[in-house]
A and B are shown apart, each in its own frame.
Chain A
């Protein structure tokens, strides 16, 4: 079915009925009873027969060549069907993504790379046999330590396609003449997304069509990426993902395990093959946030007005596939200063390739920027909120475009009022309660409002005033299934109960990834455009069976800078003898345009804030440079926030709408909660103790 292009008109205010109301999650009853089927839990055709179990064998060297894979003992193990390696796996077409060239040659690029796949009748047999596979390597020297090397280079672009370097004015001259200068380096560690559902997929090949139930943030992107490599037409790849146990970016693009299970299934036509990646394997195979080192130089006049901003980033990429995080990107639009410079340089390492993790760029970059701003406030003797107010730009400093809405100051003021900011002592290390130093801190947050092209929806009239609305979007826990129903209801002018929504299947119209906080805006725009076209073509009383498929155009203003903003406020307690750090209070106030559903939006923002606290206090992966091995490879060594860590945690949002950003007036909320939070914690820890921590996680040892 082909789609028409439809210029979309923002929803009128009086058409907003279901949007903005607290609609409980439509898939809630299935989820609380454990009846929602996640990837490898599918048992319907073609997965109904007992599937084969795949188990990954990973390289134990960081760089080299596989000399031989001896699978004799593995194959002899009862229940084992076969062992695939680079000599026996099906051949792929030439591509440009080394990460997906699974078992295609003998090259080992990083420790933990897939070097063989065991297939067996049971998971116990597959797992045990994987341990029996013997791999001989020609080991070569590697570089896995993150430090300046002679290979360090400046990439042409950083994720997704931003210039690596920007420069305006005379930064060095302005810094030389500045009354106050902050010159410091801030660091963030390797972090792993760790969605609670490990990456998993079940695949079935019937010789014609490859069917894949995948744990992914985008069914169409998976099909678009894998089909050409497999030498298949896109229509031969049928991908579904009805329920996904979180992603946070790591399921935003297909990784090597998906290719591994697909290749395995193609060797077993007619038989489903399931692969559940283990938690340990995820630390090598499913993406991570690259560590970052941000060197900031801020120059200000005596009143705290910025005259120069410089942000130079050094961060690793893998040597064999480039991923440059856009860590300095938010610095380009955040505050006003005539003289500005940002740049990224990459250190190529023999390690797994970094990838997206919730707010790539904004999370580490704003940690650095917002701690630097706190240092500047202290140096200028200014309240940190007042400092930010003084540096508000009139227009986007980078593009010169007006902001559709610049809500930062409103968030700061609203948060200050709610948090009791005026009671705060100006001096650091001013409050000792019992054995605990107590302090408060603030940081700003921002995230761009993205709306992706390439989304289509199909609306068909059904009996009894019902409408079938279809789009190949995915709900990874964001609430998409619920909010798209609300958007469709208002776009068609009917009650939400009249909408039957179908998502998460490549048989449905194309949709882009659930990532970059772009899902609701992008998919919603397609639904609104299609509804408008449907009404134009079929009227208000359509005959059952008529349908329209359309793609939105003109869905977002090109003449405005479109960004969400926020402010997070933290209270931190640091134990005077042990250094233990606690966060009894955390508040986030956000300017995100229109909120489609306050129930799911609150959970999204709370979840972001919890993850922000988690990276602020706990999360750190340690890669041993001698072996290239990530040693913190489970949830006992890679700590994430638990129930007991989360105390009084509140979010709120400003009442607003932004029709310039999307037809429904929202700007996306999935990521902004994780931005700025860690900085507010580090700033509060400084206020509590007088000790400035310039890297996360903010751990006890910093205060001893």
Chain B
């Protein structure tokens, strides 16, 4: 069965008909040729399909596309900006480069989207499993960042570089990965 839906993907209006069995991830990758979100497991276990869905990080492999008619999707590719003809990177993306927070790059677009989502959640004061004080603002310390980024697996093991990148953008003194 096919249904027509409308989405905004990385700032572009997309209208398409989808098989009702289609996940948001497959819609993006296989129908709309938006391949920035990756498929690592298709089961919500690796985080590589993470995008910002209506502003919050979301696993697209666990979302049926028909349920998101009218939504706004921002992928890692949509986080970049431009200056003249040149593409500029989002501060989180730049920090991943500066700290070599990746190797093969397959988990990276998901890590980047997750990190942007994490920084927003911290800014809004959302507590996590490791937050001690549930009454005040949440500090973006290493334990918080590690905990919140743990839904994004990196088989290349770039975690120290990823942590350094997110920590830097969170405004903490950058420890580097050395």
Contacts and interface: CB of A to CB of B under 8 A. Distances in A.
B153 interface: yes
A596 to B, nearest CB: 14
B30 to A, nearest CB: 6
Given A278-B42, A634-B45, A476 B100 contact: no
A69 interface: no
Interface stretch (B18-26, B52-60, B119-127, B133-141): B18-26
Interface stretch (A28-36, A369-377, A460-468): A28-36
A124 B100 contact: no
B177 A602 contact: yes
Given A28-B97, A33-B76, A607-B157, A276 B39 contact: yes
Contacts of A477: 102-106, 156
Given A41-B29, A603-B158, A643-B163, A196 B89 contact: no
A1 B33 CA distance: 37
19 contacts: A28-B102, A34-B77, A35-B36, A38-B35, A41-B29, A125-B19, A195-B104, A196-B46, A279-B46, A600-B100, A603-B156, A603-B158, A607-B103, A607-B156, A609-B157, A610-B159, A642-B150, A643-B152, A643-B162
Contact of A32 (B30, B89, B146, B178): B89
A246 B155 contact: yes
> Would you call the interface of chain B mostly helix, strand, loop, or mixed?
loop
A31 B108 contact: yes
Contacts of A602: 100, 177-178
A276 B43 CA distance: 14
Contact of A43 (B21, B26, B33, B39): B33
Contacts of B159: 610, 641-643, 646, 649
Contacts of B97: 24-25, 28-29, 32
A34 B153 contact: no
Interface in B63-119: 75-77, 79-80, 87, 89, 93-94, 96-98, 100, 102-109, 112
A513 B63 CA distance: 38
Given A602-B100, A607-B158, A643-B150, A124 B22 contact: yes
A606 B162 contact: no
Interface residues of B, number: 60
Interface in A630-684: 634-636, 640-644, 646, 649
Contacts of A487: none
A545 B178 CA distance: 43
Contacts of A604: 103
Contacts of B36: 33-35
Contacts of B35: 34, 37-38, 41
Contact of B155 (A31, A35, A640, A646): A640
A147 interface: no
A599 interface: yes
Given A27-B105, A643-B149, 11 more contacts: A25-B102, A28-B100, A33-B76, A33-B80, A34-B76, A38-B106, A53-B30, A197-B40, A248-B155, A640-B153, A649-B159
Contacts of B26: 123-124
B154 interface: yes
B94 to A, nearest CB: 8
Contact of B104 (A53, A194, A246, A611): A246
A31 B111 CA distance: 11
Interface string A160-199: 0000000000000000000000000000000000111110
Interface of A: 24-25, 27-38, 41, 43, 53, 122-125, 128, 194-198, 243-246, 248, 276, 278-279, 476-479, 599-600, 602-604, 606-611, 614, 634-636, 640-644, 646, 649
Contact of A635 (B37, B41, B96): B41
B157 A197 contact: no
A33 B77 contact: yes
Given A25-B100, A33-B93, A635 B43 contact: yes
A198 to B, nearest CB: 7
A292 B105 CA distance: 32
A35 B79 CA distance: 12
Given A128-B21, A197-B40, A634-B43, A611 B157 contact: yes
Contacts of A636: 43, 45
Nearest to A200: B39
A635 B150 CA distance: 13
Interface centre among B33, B96, B106, B153 (most CB of A within 10 A): B106
A457 B178 CA distance: 34
Contact of B76 (A25, A32, A38, A125): A32
Contacts of B43: 279, 634-636
B40 to A, nearest CB: 5
